[in-house]
Amino acid sequence: MMKNQSKSLLWLVISLTVVGGLMFLWPKPVGAPIQEITVSSPSPSPEPILTAISADGEIALEMKQVKGAEMITWTLKAGRDKKAFRKIFWQTLSKDMTMSIPFNTVSPDNKYLFLKQSGPDKTRYLVLTTSGEPIMPETQTIEFAKQFESEYPEYVITEATGWGGIDLIVFNTDKIEGGIGPSFWYEVPTKSFIRLSNRFE
Amino acid sequence: MGKKFLGFLMIAGLIVGGVFYFKPEDKLQENKSDFKLQVENGVKGVFHGQEIMPPIIDLTKVEPETQVLGETDPVAKKRILINLSTQTLSAYQGDDLFMEALISTGKWGRTPTGEFTIWSKFKATRMSGGSGADYYNLPNVPYTMFFSGSGVAASRGFALHGAYWHNNFGHTMSHGCVNMRTIDAQKLFNWADVNEKITIYDEESK
């Protein structure tokens, strides 16, 4: 009886050794990624870089995002070229929000720029200076979409397209109840809206 | 009585016809220019009732050389295509794409469609026109390439040029000219010669 048990145990050990050995020696599929599971706190990973340039080529912009577990930190640098880049803005947002640099971001005199902040249920536009100096006393940035919503509740901003003048941001709207709305200018120094008689397509 | 009615009809017809003829959106506007190199550093311009300081024009500055990427046939014809519907400009040498750019064409005055030829180039010039709230008077308009053709006389002042008074490219924004970012206008100016052909079209005229 005891002899039979020893035999079974021996067979089990031999079988396990053979299976284990085969698993160890079996060729791994080429190119299969070896995954590492990190159980410690997630380390930030670099993401694609967004770039833009002013219309005269004098100011270059670079925006990077660093992803954390729940939040993303967005950093914007500006300068004549990469060597002269200075950090002018950074913000940490929840993961469902994204930042982007519109094509016509920089004002014609290179004094201001605007950024687009998109979320699942709202879009915000931030205006700041290209130098990184506060845009108003004790105010680093101006956000005008929220102000527009309270002043013109019958319209919703569809897109801020660029600068209609040195300090005038152009944006189009739709009517809340449906249909196309008018275009507006947002005058940065006075923080006021100017309703336009014709639409900027 | 019949003659009176006929006279009334004729006057009414003239008024209606006149209104349609002078409807600003449809009429090609005149862009006043002296058609000469004009550098006015430090002189302010006006656009949409706002004063704006033009960029400094330095005629001694060496312009960067322009090159088409890859192998190109140096004798291949250059052509510039302007699509009003997409507000884009594409420049080709033979089949090779030299550049693509977002532009701003006529909003307060129509940009003509058809086949045109660049008849003069100036590194800077002054342009003025419009009226009332649309009045503009702009010194140092950079990298200006005047064009004519398709029934549009050279004296009308249509041009491709850099625009330093707005930054809304990809959307109509001009009085009829083809506005470009200064950085794009510079690139095109240094590549295109006088007598280069331009085709301006929209989806309807295609």
Instruction: Convert the pLDDT of each residue in B97-134 to its tens digit.
Output: 999 999 999 998 999 999 999 999 999 999 998 888 88
In chain A, which residue's Cα lies nearest the Cα of B85? A201
- Average pLDDT over every residue of A119-123: 92
- Average pLDDT over every residue of A124-140: 94
In chain A, which residue's Cα lies nearest the Cα of B185? A56
Of B48, B162, B169, which has the smallest distance from its Cβ to A162's Cβ? B169
- Average pLDDT over every residue of A75-102: 93
Cα–Cα distance measured from residue B89 to residue B80, given in angstroms and rounded to the nearest whole number: 7
- Could you tell me which of A79, A88, A75 has the C-alpha nearest to residue A57? A79
Distances, alpha carbon A144 to alpha carbons A93, A118, B103, in Å = 18, 14, 26
Tell me the residues of chain A between 145 and 184 that have a Cβ less than 8 Å away from chain B. Answer: 161-168, 170
Contacts of B168 in chain A (CB under 8 A): 104, 161-164, 170, 200
Cα–Cα distance measured from residue B146 to residue B143, given in angstroms and rounded to the nearest whole number: 10
Binning pLDDT at 50, 70 and 90, where does residue A131 land? Answer: very high
How many CA atoms does the CB half-sphere of A140 hold within 13 Å? 5
- The helix (H) or strand (E) run that includes residue A120 is none
Q: Any idea which of A45-54, A98-107, A114-123, B139-148 has the lowest mean pLDDT?
A: A45-54
Tell me the residues of chain A between 89 and 108 that have a Cβ less than 8 Å away from chain B. Answer: 103-104, 106-108
CB contact under 8 Å between B168 and A166, yes or no, is no
In chain B, which residue's Cα lies nearest the Cα of A168? B166
Which tokens sit at A103? Answer: 């094509």
> What pTM, to 2 d.p., does this model score?
0.79
Instruction: Look at residue A11 in the predicted model and tell me its pLDDT.
Output: 72
B32 touches chain A (CB under 8 A): no
CB contact under 8 Å between A164 and B50, yes or no, is no
The overall longest dimension of chain A from CA atoms, in Å, is: 102
Q: Rounded to a whole number, what is the distance in Å from the CA of B20 to chain A's nearest CA?
A: 19
Please give the share of chain A, as a percent, with pLDDT higher than 90. Answer: 69
Distant-in-sequence, close-in-space partners of B197: CB < 8 Å, separation ≥ 6: B77, B78, B79, B80, B115, B116, B117
Instruction: Look at residue A166 in the predicted model and tell me its pLDDT.
Output: 94
Cα–Cα distance measured from residue B175 to residue A114, given in angstroms and rounded to the nearest whole number: 26
Distant-in-sequence, close-in-space partners of B110: CB < 8 Å, separation ≥ 6: B25, B26, B27, B28, B29, B176
Instruction: Look at residue B29 in the predicted model and tell me its pLDDT.
Output: 65
With tokens 């040498």, the residue in question is B93
Q: Rounded to a whole number, what is the distance in Å from the CA of A41 to chain B's nearest CA?
A: 44
CB contact under 8 Å between B107 and A161, yes or no, is no
Instruction: Look at residue A20 in the predicted model and tell me its pLDDT.
Output: 54
Binning pLDDT at 50, 70 and 90, where does residue A28 land? Answer: very low
**Is-contact B177 B160, C-beta < 8 A?**
yes
A27 has pLDDT over 50: no
Give the model confidence (pLDDT) of A166-188 as tens digits.
999 999 999 999 999 999 999 99
CB contact under 8 Å between B102 and A103, yes or no, is yes
Binning pLDDT at 50, 70 and 90, where does residue A10 land? Answer: low
Binning pLDDT at 50, 70 and 90, where does residue B165 land? Answer: very high
What rounded mean pLDDT belongs to chain A? 85
Identify the three-state secondary structure at position B130.
coil
CB contact under 8 Å between B181 and A56, yes or no, is yes
B99 touches chain A (CB under 8 A): no
